[in-house]
Structure 1
């Protein structure tokens, strides 16, 4: 039996992302899962969450359009989606 060609990383992540259901909140951890945000089915509302606290983000940013403060768990620049929340953290010393 001939060897099957290996799937590219993005192709594997696209296939996994097809399993995401409407109204799911999906935590995308470090590594290959971060690429799943590149596949967004417009017929579904899916909220992506990252271990570093980012919630409601979209695909990886295009080169030249990065927001250095908006990164996923892997430190890759991502885009913001409509309605994404913005949180601030203030640390006060007593």
Structure 2
């Protein structure tokens, strides 16, 4: 395998492994509830969770976490079960 092929293979592996968990705005959940879920599920600090909640409120969505797809799908499931709208991208 050439150096170029090795580099491309490495880049593809990185792209496959690193995904984002995105939280979308809704009009049903309170700020406090969203903050609590982010602290519990994503292990955010209170400050991180509050910043994500505000970004989601003003911009419509926020990347709340990155990681491998299996971990993010599990967290997305927990957050969705709690009533939040999330997506792994």
Please give the TM-score of this superposition, normalised by the length of structure 2: 0.24
Greater length-normalized contact order (CA 8 Å, ≥ 6 residues apart): 2
- Determine which structure has the larger helix proportion and give its number: 2
In the superposition, the TM-score normalised over structure 1's length comes to 0.23
